[in-house]
């Protein structure tokens, strides 16, 4: 049985990836689950695992090459199995099965409003006696049959492969086209191999065109003084994605901001005491661990904040999924801690530290980069006393945390030394209003000022 390894889709808005390096070489034997390559996406560098056992017979894409999602990059087969010299124009689906997304128990159904039903993954391919690749029979899930109709019969004797003449477009571009009422046939593509991107659809809706090769360099804006020494900067996929998504967020999400001061004396003391226990089964706790726990409890107590505006409607979630901003050399990633309300404080801290460590070494799994309902950005370790953050599209809020500061405070009418920390909560005004946001922030502050609540 021969399998095509294809560029996987690591997130709903991913349209292409870049091969960083191949971990194995042609002719090497691989087992199911072995890492065979590293790819760069807009969010992070991610390892690709082999989802079949055999020999890496053919590497189709060299390192440094950008590849559209779904395009074949390698073939795994038995050592003596005959494989074709060239692949068909439309390769079969990925041999690398898409990782299962952790359950996100939203109360509005399984599909986001205005979002297309997911297409079932194509099956692995088998080499026939003539050396052609034919699709292997794989049962189609019931949900897929209900949404897309019966699965097509596999290509075989007496049946030729169907031609695909539909417009090539990314899933995000198709969704934006429906939202904006744009016909994809009228859009000028700018993606690889004539693929329509979301930016092309948005340009067409404004009466313009985003056609032509995508811009690769920054700093070419009109108005730069030619006598002012400067040089263009090549954007990494991550930095380009951050620029695009933050511009989209700032222009499309109506933010409002709420700031409060937290007295952190009790919080710092209990953290110090926990870390002095010397229990080898306990992790070293950070202030961020308490903040994540407090945010998880807040989302459960104030469900209006545990929501996001998606497409043309509001979705409210059941579990508390909290994204943690982690700084990297090229930008930042925000891996997601799922179901924080159901975790013990020690387990939450372990998972938080594990995510941060693997984020810095590019070892995050695809499902850990999406699904957040809110986010926490802590710049206190950089000496920042207070700041505001931008909400990530698909989430309803973000908490910006400043440094713990030694300040004079008033207790029982007396001025005494104390410790305080500023927090600014940014909320999508489509999700909730100022009064509800203020109540949620007040409860969050109470949890941190009474940190034993975070340990329950």
| Residue of 157, 152, 155, 197 whose CA lies nearest to 177 | 197
In 191-329, which ranges are E strands? 217-218, 233-234, 255-263, 307-310, 313-316, 322-324, 326-328
Strand, helix or coil at 294? helix
10 Å Cβ neighbour count for 371?
19
Q: Which two tokens stand for residue 153?
A: 């019969």
Cα–Cα distance for residue pair 15/7, rounded to 1 Å: 10
CA-CA distance, 285 to 405, in Å (whole number)?
19
Residue given tokens 């075989």 in the structure block: 156
Buried b / exposed e along 325-350 (16+ C-beta atoms within 10 A): bbeeeebebbbbbbbbbebebbebbb
- Known catalytic residues? 429
At residue 107's C-alpha, the angle toward residues 437 and 341, to 5°, is 60
Residue 320 to residue 341: CA distance in whole angstroms: 6
- CB atoms inside a 10 Å sphere around CB 187: 23
Name the DSSP letter for residue 170.
-
Q: Give the number of C-alpha atoms closer than 13 A to the C-alpha of residue 243, restricted to the C-beta side.
A: 12
Distance between alpha carbon 324 and the CA centroid of its chain, in Å?
12
- Cα distances (Å, whole numbers) of residue 203 to 194, 212, 286: 16, 12, 45
């Amino acid at each position: 049985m021969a399998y095509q390894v294809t560029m996987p889709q690591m997130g709903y808005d991913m349209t292409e990836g870049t091969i960083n390096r191949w971990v194995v070489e042609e002719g090497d034997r691989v087992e199911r689950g072995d890492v065979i390559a590293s790819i760069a996406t807009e969010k992070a560098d991610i390892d690709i695992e082999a989802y079949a056992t055999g020999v890496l017979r053919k590497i189709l894409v060299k390192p440094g090459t950008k590849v559209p999602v779904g395009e074949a990059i390698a073939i795994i087969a038995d050592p003596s199995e005959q494989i074709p010299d060239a692949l068909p124009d439309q390769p079969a689906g990925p041999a690398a099965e898409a990782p299962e997304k952790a359950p996100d128990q939203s109360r509005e159904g399984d599909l986001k409003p205005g979002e297309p039903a997911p297409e079932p993954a194509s099956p692995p391919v088998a080499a026939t006696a003539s050396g052609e690749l034919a699709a292997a029979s794989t049962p189609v899930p019931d949900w897929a049959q209900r949404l897309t109709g019966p699965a097509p019969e596999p290509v075989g004797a007496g049946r030729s492969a169907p031609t695909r003449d539909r417009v090539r477009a990314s899933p995000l571009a198709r969704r934006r086209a429906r939202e904006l009422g744009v016909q994809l046939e009228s859009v000028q593509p700018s993606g690889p191999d004539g693929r329509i991107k979301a930016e092309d659809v948005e340009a067409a809706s404004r009466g313009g065109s985003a056609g032509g090769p995508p811009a690769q360099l920054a700093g070419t804006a009109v108005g730069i003084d030619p006598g002012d020494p400067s040089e263009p900067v090549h954007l990494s996929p991550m930095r380009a994605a951050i620029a695009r998504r933050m511009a989209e967020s700032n222009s499309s999400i109506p933010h409002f901001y709420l700031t409060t001061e937290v007295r952190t004396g009790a919080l710092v003391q209990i953290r110090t005491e926990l870390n002095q226990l010397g229990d080898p089964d306990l992790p070293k706790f950070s202030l961020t661990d308490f903040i994540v726990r407090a945010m998880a409890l807040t989302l459960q107590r104030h469900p209006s904040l545990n929501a996001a505006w998606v497409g043309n409607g509001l979705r409210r979630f059941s579990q508390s999924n909290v994204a943690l901003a982690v700084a990297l050399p090229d930008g930042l990633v925000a891996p997601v801690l799922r179901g924080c309300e159901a975790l013990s404080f020690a387990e939450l801290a372990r998972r938080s530290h594990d995510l941060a460590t693997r984020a810095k070494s590019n070892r995050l799994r695809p499902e850990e980069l999406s699904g957040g309902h809110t986010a926490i950005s802590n710049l206190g370790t950089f000496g920042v006393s207070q700041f505001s953050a931008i909400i990530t599209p698909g989430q309803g809020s973000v908490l910006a945390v400043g440094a713990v500061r030694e300040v004079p405070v008033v207790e029982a009418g007396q001025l005494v030394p104390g410790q305080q920390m500023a927090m600014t909560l940014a909320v999508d005004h489509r999700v909730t209003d100022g009064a509800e946001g203020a109540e949620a922030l007040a409860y969050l502050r109470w949890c941190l000022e009474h940190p034993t609540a975070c340990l329950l």
